[in-house]
Structure 1
Amino acid sequence: MPRILGRAPSVIVVLILVFPGCVPGHDERQPERQQPDDATIRDILAKRVDAKQSVGITVGIHNLQTSRFISFGTFNGPGTSAVSEETIFEIGSITKTFTATVLADMVSRGEVALDDAVARYLPPQVRLPSRNGKQITLLDLATHTSGLPAFPANMEPADSGNPFADYTQQQLYAFLSSHELARDPGEQYQYSNLGMALLGHVLARRTGMTYEALVLERVLRPLDMNDTWIALTPALRLRFAPGHDASLTLQKSWDMPALAGSGAFRSTARDMMKFLSAYSRPAGTSLERVAPLALEPRRPAEDASVSVGLGWHIVERNGRRFAGVNGQTGCYAAFAGFSMSSGTHVVVLSNSARSVDDIGWHLIDPSIPVQTSFVAERTEIVLEPSGLDRFVGRYNLSPTDVIIITRNGDSLWARISGLDYQLFAEGRQRFFIKAVDAQLAFNVDGSGNTTGLTLRYDGRKFTAQKRP
């Protein structure tokens, strides 16, 4: 059961994100520390693969002078093809920047306006939620401030290995028509895969095209990104690296027909470098009018140093400006970002569900350290099944986010944002998730009653109190 933990209040969010960004129209080139050479980058990747953090990783990096690609690892271990800049990976939430680029393009053409109510582009029978007289706008969706949750709550996947494959447009409409917002649209940042998926859906409806065809026409083909698709041809599938969960177990790739705008695209490092190059230097490209609209800071994010453009997270760090996004599905991880002060842009693609963000940021700005130590492989132990019942219940992460712990036979499961993860014991109260690199510990009082839990992911800690 795949999923992804993000930095938003919804702790585990499929197709992750979270980054620094850049400000539109800022074209100065300030000197930064020299980027690592190819041998150093290859060593970083080799250590990551040798530490069983990935099976194969490929990097694209461009500074003011040159572009280069460095890869290490394979499709699926010894005896399989080596990964390269031509290898296709799922890119998860990086898809959101394609969706937002389409929005900026349509705004620049006068086809839509950022303050248009989303309901205007939905069938009349769909009752999109509003609150205190405020309707959700296209800008709200593009900046994760719509008030919509990370995922629709009516997901019941038949196949947990491909959890979005059977979620339909009709189910999406049913959820939107029944959902009540917990906060006003535009009031507060809350990362929402659902919101960005809805944005892609309504933009496609506005043009009368499918979402994939719309992105191909407005974004990918003008940039000569010919290896970037949702539906891969048989020839492209030969270059599609199999994905692996955080324990490096081979997993299925994801299909997201009703939520495509949030994370359905697959791409190569070579294609993604074309996209980043156009964003970092849009003059003379098809993004010349689009990039400034997308990169303008629109709303504050959770961190005071981070703002949100259209699909991009924008940050100032040590006097420098960056734009970035990351992605993670059940068996892939990705990073894409660039520095507006140096012009450096970087993509990192991996065929396992462990973050590669630190590699990406280090290559953009070498003053940001790369991770060099990793937790040893976790050891599963067996607990008495009857002792698991005390952990069952609902745990409040926030007013709108709940972790539901259930027992199924001899196993505990955690449902977060509509998806389920099996928990594996490594102590009497400590568990880990194999699908992603996350750990969960239950808090127990002196009487043996469970009072809450602590979830750890990517160096961050989240606490939740158990409901009575």
Structure 2
Amino acid sequence: MKKLLFIALTLLLSFQVKAQDSKIPTEVKEYIQSRVENQINVGIVVGYINGDTVNYYSFGNTAIENGTPVNKESVFEIGSISKTFTATLLALKVNSGEMSLDDPISKYLPKTVKVPTRNGKEITLKHLATHTSALPRMPDNWSPANDKNPFQDYTYENLYSFISNYKLTRDIGAEKEYSNVGMGLLGHILELQSGKTYEELVIENIAKPLQMDDTRLVLTQTMKNQLAKGHDGLSETENWDIITLGGAGGIRSTVSDMVKYIQANINANTIDSELHNAMALAHKSAFKSEEQNAEMALAWHIENGSFLMHNGATGGYCAMSAIDKASKRGVVVLTNSNENVDAIAIKLMVPSYPLKPIKPSIAKVLAKEIKVNGITKAIAFYKEAKTKQANNYNFEVEELNTLGYQLLAEDKKDIALEIFKLNVAEFPEASNPYDSLAEAYLENGEQELAIENYKKSLDLNPANDNARDVLKSLKVDIKEVTVSKEMLESYTGKYQLAPTFAITITTKEGRLFLQATGQPQFEIFPSDYNIFFLKVVEARVEFNANSKGKIDSMTLFQNGQVLPGKRVE
């Protein structure tokens, strides 16, 4: 399965702000260079703000083939950083008295739209802006005709239908659950209230005042000329046209423009203007949960009480922004690859943060071997290299997966199929290789083998909605598991997996939750009576009983690791 992104999760770090040089360190520059040279990212551009000083650094190209060097004027998709623009627009309306954070969203939607309620409580604008509306991450009627541009055909009618027919599964305002559809809906409500499109609101209220001429939803001719082409792995991919849910992730911009935006946010409390005052309101804490170890402003994630951040990703791009208003520092990092660049921003904001050394991708070497010596000898080369040169190359599961999709894009289906088979053989406990192999089989017209591998992928990772959806489309029955409240209660407690690392299991309203040391709380879902999986990462836990039938341990399976833990409370 190729990555289908719209948001990267908030970073779970303890940020410690220290004085540092205003310049971008050589270590960061070399790290960026190594990411590009090893084809993890195609191009990366950084803007770092320290007080009145701004430093830029760029490396790489606008495309793998026939690209030109990226720079601070190159145009990228910023994905979910768009949500902070939506929050700023809402704050402008609140400060002007036109709207209130406590307004129910039904006040602004057409009367034909039936907004879901729960226990007599209505969803408000504040709930949408803080991801506490109890709406899901994505609408359940989102079925793109083109996975490479998946939001292009999602209409306002689709959105209204989803809202009118969705049944809330948790209490409104009780907890944070990241919702793209919720923030997209908020952007549309701003359209309805103002009588203007979301893009017009962004341009009029943010882009023009800050002279951000290359920040738009729809590419201007100038922006097209400066566009850094998006890449899915090693393959160039389509841009995402997000209009109906534009408030959740539809903006394109440049590092030059985004630096202006970050600077305005840094100065929100020191400059008296409508825009700066709105930004200041958007920065205020609006939701905090000790259980989830989470704090939200309006769209912005808050770390350690004052650090503001938001990142984002679309099919061919990743982005990261962070602000420390107290020290007047900020950063924005944009890349034209769907490979996360958060670490670069973190390093600039937190100098003690360690950057993981980059190894050359085995996929790049293997691609040359295939071209020169053919697939059979290339596979033999891979196996020998993995044995004798394990420390010289990156052999992680996504390397072969990325190469397989590159070969599919080049219409080399037979070779791609062999690469996906190799990936399954090398990583038999990972879900994604089976999903990718199944996709290749399906594209090759081998439906039975596709079904077999989609099932295996789903067994390993029940959170794989792609496999679930494809199997349903092929009329394959999917087993749904329910676990009694009594059995859920038997799993609650604290499990020690390491001297300083434990997992606490709790229940609420017939649902099971997991919280690791220093991490937010996440819901876990059953795939068997004693096996549960997470949706935020590919991981699962298994509860184990002793000879007397009492649950006395659990095992965490994640990233190829098997971590047992004894129940201590």
CA deviations 1:187-240 (Å, max 9, x no partner) are 110000000000000011101111110111112211111110011112220101
Say whether 1:212 aligns with 2:194.
no
CA deviation after TM superposition for structure 1 residue 255, in Å: 0.8
Q: Which residue of 1 aligns with 2:249?
A: 263
The verdict on how the C-alpha distance between 1:144 and 1:41 changes in structure 2, with shifts beyond 3 A counting, is: same
Match of 1:183 among 151, 170, 177: 170
Q: Which residue of 2 aligns with 1:364?
A: 349
AA in 2 matched with 1:388: N
Determine the C-alpha separation between the residues in 1 that align with 2:529 and 2:470.
14
Q: Which residue of 2 aligns with 1:299?
A: 287
Q: Which residue of 1 aligns with 2:7?
A: 15
CA deviation after TM superposition for structure 1 residue 463, in Å: 2.8
The verdict on how the C-alpha distance between 1:217 and 1:126 changes in structure 2, with shifts beyond 3 A counting, is: same
Kept in 1: contact 2:91–2:281 (CA 8 A): yes
Q: Which residue of 2 aligns with 1:312?
A: 300
Kept in 2: contact 1:35–1:366 (CA 8 A): no
Determine the C-alpha separation between the residues in 1 that align with 2:140 and 2:194.
28
CA deviation after TM superposition for structure 1 residue 305, in Å: 4.9
The verdict on how the C-alpha distance between 1:113 and 1:455 changes in structure 2, with shifts beyond 3 A counting, is: closer
CA deviation after TM superposition for structure 1 residue 456, in Å: 9.6
CA deviation after TM superposition for structure 1 residue 408, in Å: 10
Kept in 1: contact 2:267–2:325 (CA 8 A): no
Match of 2:468 among 394, 398, 404: 404
The verdict on how the C-alpha distance between 1:365 and 1:409 changes in structure 2, with shifts beyond 3 A counting, is: same
Which SS does the other structure have where 1:278 is aligned?
helix
The verdict on how the C-alpha distance between 1:292 and 1:409 changes in structure 2, with shifts beyond 3 A counting, is: closer
Which SS does the other structure have where 1:70 is aligned?
strand
The verdict on how the C-alpha distance between 1:212 and 1:331 changes in structure 2, with shifts beyond 3 A counting, is: same
CA deviation after TM superposition for structure 1 residue 162, in Å: 0.6
Alignment of 1:231-242 (within 5 A): 231-242=218-229
The verdict on how the C-alpha distance between 1:345 and 1:208 changes in structure 2, with shifts beyond 3 A counting, is: same
Determine the C-alpha separation between the residues in 1 that align with 2:457 and 2:334.
37
Instruction: Give the TM-score normalised by the residue count of structure 1.
Output: 0.79
Alignment of 1:439-458 (within 5 A): none
CA deviation after TM superposition for structure 1 residue 31, in Å: 4.5
Alignment of 1:70-109 (within 5 A): 70-77=57-64, 79-109=66-96
Determine the C-alpha separation between the residues in 1 that align with 2:2 and 2:152.
12
Say whether 1:113 aligns with 2:100.
yes
Determine the C-alpha separation between the residues in 2 that align with 1:389 and 1:95.
34
Alignment of 1:320-331 (within 5 A): 321-331=306-316
Kept in 2: contact 1:397–1:464 (CA 8 A): no
Kept in 2: contact 1:150–1:194 (CA 8 A): yes
CA deviations 1:350-386 (Å, max 9, x no partner) are 0000111111111112122223245432263437927
- Count of aligned pairs: 408
Which SS does the other structure have where 2:44 is aligned?
strand
Determine the C-alpha separation between the residues in 2 that align with 1:125 and 1:188.
28
Kept in 2: contact 1:33–1:367 (CA 8 A): no
AA in 2 matched with 1:18: T
Which SS does the other structure have where 2:306 is aligned?
strand
AA in 1 matched with 2:333: V
AA in 2 matched with 1:273: V
CA deviations 1:310-335 (Å, max 9, x no partner) are 0100111xxx8310100100110000
Match of 1:337 among 304, 322, 328: 322
Q: Which residue of 1 aligns with 2:259?
A: 273
Hey, which bits of structure 1, 4+ residues long, moved more than 4 A?
1-5, 19-22, 301-305, 392-398, 407-410, 449-457
Which SS does the other structure have where 1:378 is aligned?
helix
CA deviation after TM superposition for structure 1 residue 80, in Å: 1.7
Say whether 1:250 aligns with 2:250.
no
Kept in 2: contact 1:2–1:160 (CA 8 A): no
Alignment of 1:51-70 (within 5 A): 51-70=38-57
Determine the C-alpha separation between the residues in 1 that align with 2:252 and 2:170.
34
AA in 1 matched with 2:352: S
Say whether 1:378 aligns with 2:400.
yes
Determine the C-alpha separation between the residues in 2 that align with 1:464 and 1:262.
32
Instruction: State which drifts further: 365-374 or 224-233.
Output: 365-374
Determine the C-alpha separation between the residues in 2 that align with 1:155 and 1:451.
31
Unaligned runs of 5+ in 2: 360-393, 402-418, 422-436, 438-447, 479-526, 543-569
The verdict on how the C-alpha distance between 1:408 and 1:196 changes in structure 2, with shifts beyond 3 A counting, is: closer
CA deviation after TM superposition for structure 1 residue 342, in Å: 1.8
Unaligned runs of 5+ in 1: 6-13, 23-28, 415-444
CA deviation after TM superposition for structure 1 residue 107, in Å: 0.4
RMSD of equivalent CA atoms: 3.3
Determine the C-alpha separation between the residues in 1 that align with 2:193 and 2:78.
25
Kept in 1: contact 2:454–2:467 (CA 8 A): no
Instruction: State which drifts further: 149-158 or 262-271.
Output: 149-158
The verdict on how the C-alpha distance between 1:142 and 1:370 changes in structure 2, with shifts beyond 3 A counting, is: same
